[in-house]
Structure 1
Amino acid sequence: MAKLKIAPIAGEASIRLVRDGRADRDAIATAVRYLLQVLANTAEGNSVEVRVPPHGAVQAIEGPNHTRGTPPNVVEMDAETWIALATGTREWAEALDSGDISASGSRADLSEYLPVVWERIAP
């Protein structure tokens, strides 16, 4: 079965609601999942698992494949931190230093992939 994809128009609208402080739980979940989807599409691979519980997780970044069990490279954070990092309103190093990110493994540094390009350019 093919994985469902969040349409850009829905993902972008949810991100804007979060940024404007008007998001409900569903909008936050959609924003998180859409930004994870964008990361997975831009940094294709499966050497790092990025988790934002309870909303979602993706495998991304080229490198050694991971297929079963706990992956050797894991990054985990809450929704607020992920949205801020992915949209460029927070820096990776600051969030890591403050303890808002749990990162393990030699490849668990997402700084070169952040922020993600989530906003389509209007024609």
Structure 2
Amino acid sequence: MAGEIESALTGCRVEAISVAGRLTVALSGGVVVTAANDFRLRTATEVEHFYPRLALGPSGALSALVGARVIGAGVTRAGGLELDFGAAGQLSVPPDTGGPAGAEAWRVAGPHGPLFTAEPGGYLAV
């Protein structure tokens, strides 16, 4: 699984980011990463925690990811998503922690539908 998600995302460029009830990261090639869970962005100088359900707009550090490329991607043993944008930062989305019923913690979709989905309980669907 880790190799599959890495090959699907590595090299994609961040086209747009929005935070409105969930994080949405639009990547080149029609790939979209969404996260309903809270998430963390770590940069060289700080660590920011985000809570999408609070409907706050993207911070400066999160907005700075626009234009960055994914240089690495993986799934933690517990089912969390890790995206590495090099000097721009590392984005971490933990697995389901009891969010809204039926909502996946995160999802990666391509132009033709879902590619990877983190289902409740930390399980992954490909």
Q: TM-score, normalised by structure 1?
A: 0.27
Higher RCO (C-alpha 8 Å, min separation 6): 2
Q: Which is greater in Rg?
A: 1
Which has more helix, going by share of residues? 1
